[in-house]
Amino acid sequence: MVTHSKNSHDSLADPALLDKIDKLFACNVGEYINLPQLVVVGDQSSGKSSVLEGLTKLAFPRDSGLCTRFATQIIFRRVEGVDRSITATIIPGKNAENPSELQEWKTTDLQDLSAASFGEMMSKVYTLMGLSVTKEDAMPTFSENVLRLEICGPDEDHLSVIDVPGIFRNTTPGVTTKEDKDMVRKMVLDYMTNPRSIMLTVVPANVDIATQEIIDMAREVDPDGKRTLGVLTKPDLVDKGAENKVIDLVEDREMRLKLGWIIVRNLGQIELQDLHIDRDAAEERFRHTAPWNGIPRDRFGIKALKIRLQETVTSNAREAFPLLRAEIGKRLKSCQDKLQVLGAERETPEQQTRYLLGVMSSFQEITQQALSTNYSSNNHFDHDLDLRLATRIVNRNDSFSGDMASWGHEYRFAEDTRDESSQSDGEIDAEDEDEDEDEGYEDKNRIVETRQLITRKTTRLHGLEDVLDGLEDEAVKLPLKGKIYPWIEKQYHSSRGFEIGTFNSTLLSIVMKQQSTKWTTITHGYIDDMITMTHGFILKALKLACPDTRVRQNLMAFLLDRLLDRYKEAINKVKFLLLVERSGTPMTLNHYLNDNLEKCRQKRFASVIEKKTFSDCSHGKVVRFSDITHQHHMSNVKHTIQDIHDILHSYYKVARKRFVDSVCMQAVDYHLVTGPRTPMALFSPYLVHSFSKEQLEEIAGEETALRRKRRQLRKEVQDLQKAKKILF
């Protein structure tokens, strides 16, 4: 009959350390952090259960086979002043389908672990774990869940040990399969791989040790034998003459382990039937028989094993604790960071609404910072210059204005051409009008070193094809040099009526429309770029405001049609302004028209008079009055052509500047940047409050995988926080 030891001096480890380890296991931290533990491993027939009985003084039911289908953590705690009690709980495995149900299960009505009471409890455990009860139910035989037995009482040793299923080579039809064999081996290997596990490796002494699979596994994970304690069982079954080989192993003459080998002699099957036989006394009698009496006392028997474990378990725990504190703190922070990246929980409509409102608020904040050039408020503006929307818009406005000034007209005006700047006696000199164009065309800001202008400066983004494909994107050529007077004369002869000394009022509309032909292409390239930059900013700002890719994509899918509509409004405004400026009646109240016209005439007159000047000693360059009054007069046609040129030139400047300002202010600033219906304004709290429950779920509802990940992270955080309190 097995009895409980009442000796307090042979407690297996420091009670305080062991208590902390047990609590860490209880809060499931072993799933995330390698905990110091004592794990008993061996083949199914190695005598592992008997060794456990000797250590724990706990009689496992031998005929049930119930303790070998999942890991069992057995915890003994000495508690003075209370009756002995047994509490059973379950620690869910990583892949448990019902972790909450398993974690909530608990039974405290066990007074002992007799076959009857233990079997009744285990049938409940099987049901909870979803394990096979009969050969016909097709349920799994083994589980990764852990049964936790806590035995408290005044006579218990402080001990925590994990019993894992015994590995097996051959399967049993209808009971175990090859998959079961592989699963058990993997489960045992996982426990052994833990670098903080002390492996109590149990092998029978009556077999060839070198052929034992558990020895190979121990060598694989612990090649130096630093944490492997070998236990030899069944010395009474060793063949005569083979005892010396076993003794050599125990005395470290073969297969050395730093923790050594200890031999134990458990009760045989016949002895177990005699309830009066004391296990420890029988082992002590066997120790005194030859040749076993030559083995040192500290290498034979369950008491020697207890002492060795006391030293090893305590040393292992003390060495691991400082590292455990650091690892738990680091893991906890990592989990909290991952939870923060996932954002707030989004399972209910209220949670989904709060989440989207937060996204909108963050998006609007980034937008406001970008448009107010408050770039120092957010590091993202340093990392991605595309977010500096205001700066990009202003720079593109300058580029648009410069392109229009340098490339916008079909023909270069006479005053802008060196060869046309001087006329003879007021006549139109066409001598150089067929001259080739210059390689370089200089304006106030730059020298264009190409004969073509690419009107689109950015790469179009995917998804904008529906609104941007209709815009012209051909390259623009340099304005023609020396061709403007022949062209005006042709237009004049094609449009003249019965006017006397003047020209048809519609002629200005005709030449203005043809002279501004390139406005369409240049402006289309400009608005294309502006829409592309705006859309690109929206995508990047939304990515910062909403890290969840699925929610971000859902929002964009929901809003894309509305965004495209607002882009179309900007394009329609551009088309309207082009229509008004190019096809409408030329009109302006700007006094600069007359100023420009007068400057044109004065410049031409001055160029003619300059040829008749001469130097006067007292007055510098002078001209005779008769040379001023007696000018060679042009024909009516040439005078009219020159007049049309000057009026077109003066009006074109005013119209171009007005058009550039209108496009920048009305089409871009109002429709894309600061107006009440800009694309960015769509991302607002009003939009979120307009969503139905179905839309909220579709846009912001969490996927099953994300919910599962959130639950796992939240559980891990809770477990690690409990562990931190235990250690700190």
Question: What digits encode the pLDDT tens for the residues 601-650?
Answer: 667 766 766 767 777 767 677 776 666 666 556 667 787 888 888 889 88
* Residue 51 near residue 283 (C-beta atoms within 8 A): no
Per-residue confidence (pLDDT) for residue 699, from 0 to 100: 93
- Give me the percent of the chain exceeding a pLDDT of 90: 35
Q: Identify the pLDDT of residue 12.
A: 47
- Of residues 275 and 98, more confidence is placed in 98
Alpha carbons within 13 angstroms on the beta-carbon side of residue 365 total 12
Q: Which stretch, 45-54, 379-388, 589-598, has highest mean pLDDT?
A: 379-388
Same domain (yes/no): 160, 92: yes
Residue 299 has pLDDT above 80, yes or no: yes
Of 204 and 10, more confident: 204
Domain assignment present for residue 428? The answer is no
- b/e burial code for range 27-46 (CB count within 10 A of at least 16 → b): bbbbbbbbbbbbbbbbbeeb
Q: Answer for the pair 264, 305: CB distance below 8 angstroms, yes or no.
A: yes
In a domain, 637, yes or no: no
* pLDDT confidence of residue 97: 80
CATH number at residue 140: 3.40.50.300
Report yes or no on 250 lying in a domain: yes
Q: Are 265 and 282 in contact (CB under 8 A)?
A: yes
Tokens 């705006």, residue located: 534
List Cβ neighbours of 470 (8 Å cut-off, separation of 6 or more).
none
How far is it, in rounded angstroms, from Cα 429 to Cα 433? 8
Please indicate, yes or no, whether residues 244 and 381 belong to a single structural domain of this protein: no
Q: What is the average pLDDT across 477-484?
A: 91
Decide which of 37 and 636 is more confident: 37
Beta bridge partners of 78: 153
Q: Looking at the structure, do residues 311 and 233 belong to the same domain, yes or no? A: yes
pLDDT value at 505 more than 50: yes
Between CA 110 and CA 104 the distance in angstroms is 17
- The pLDDT of residue 79: 77
Q: Which of 284, 305, 335 is the last residue of a domain?
A: 335
Q: Report the alpha-carbon distance of residue 382 to residue 367 in Å, rounded.
A: 15
Q: If you compute the radius of gyration of the chain from its CA atoms, what whole number of angstroms results?
A: 47
Pairing between β-strand 228-233 and β-strand 261-263 as defined by DSSP bridges: parallel
Q: Is residue 97 part of a domain?
A: yes
Whole-number pLDDT of residue 643: 84
Asked if 154 and 204 sit in the same domain, the reply is: yes
On whether residue 671 sits in a domain, the answer given is yes
In a domain, 633, yes or no: no
Residues 380 and 522 in one domain: yes
**According to the model, what pLDDT value does residue 334 have?**
94
pLDDT interval class at 10 (50, 70, 90): very low
Q: Does 295 have pLDDT greater than 70?
A: yes
Domain-located, residue 602:
no
Q: Give the H or E element holding residue 615.
A: strand 614-616
Q: Give the per-residue pLDDT at 446.
A: 43
Say if residue 398 is in the same domain as residue 294: no
CA dihedral 575, 580, 583, 584 (to 10 degrees): 160
Q: What is the pLDDT of residue 468?
A: 92
Of 305, 335, 365, the one marking the end of a domain is 335
* Same domain for 285 and 236: yes
Residue 233 banded pLDDT, cuts 50, 70, 90 = very high
Residues 269 and 406 in one domain: no
Average pLDDT of the chain to the nearest whole number: 83
Crossing angle of helices 517-545/349-371, nearest 10°?
Answer: 130
DSSP state of 167: B
Q: What angle do CA 566, 571, 576 make, to 5 degrees?
A: 125
Question: In degrees, to the nearest 5, what angle opens at C-alpha 537 toward C-alphas 534 and 541?
Answer: 145
What does the pLDDT read at residue 680?
96
Please report the sign of the dihedral spanned by the C-alpha atoms of residue 331, residue 336, residue 341, residue 343.
Answer: positive
* Res 671: pLDDT: 97
Tell me what the mean pLDDT of segment 337-351 comes to. 87
- Are residues 295 and 404 located together in one domain of the fold? no
53-76 b/e with 16+ CB inside 10 Å = b? bbbbbbbbbeeeebbbbbbbbbbb
d(CA 22, CA 76): 10
Q: Render pLDDT for 236-245 as a digit per residue (tens, 0 to 9).
A: 998 888 888 8
Distance CA 533, CA 538 (A): 9
Structure tokens at 79: 């508690």
Is residue 21 within 8 Å of 35, Cβ to Cβ?
Answer: yes
Same domain, 396 and 272: no
Which of the listed residues 335, 364, 395 is the one where a domain comes to its end?
A: 335
314 lies in the same domain as 237: yes
State how many domains the chain has. Answer: 2
- Entry pTM: 0.61
- List the domain range (segments joined by +) for residue 253: 15-335
Task: Please compute the mean of the pLDDT values over residues 184-212 and round it to a whole number.
Answer: 89
Q: Would you place residue 418 in the very low, low, confident or very high pLDDT band (cuts 50, 70, 90)?
A: very low
Average pLDDT over residues 477-483: 91
Instruction: Give domain status of residue 55, yes or no.
Output: yes
Residue 430 pLDDT exceeds 50: no
Does one domain contain both 94 and 214?
yes
Structure-token pair, residue 483: 């061709």
pLDDT digits (tens, 9 = 90+) for 639-683: 788 888 888 988 999 999 999 999 999 999 999 999 999 999 999
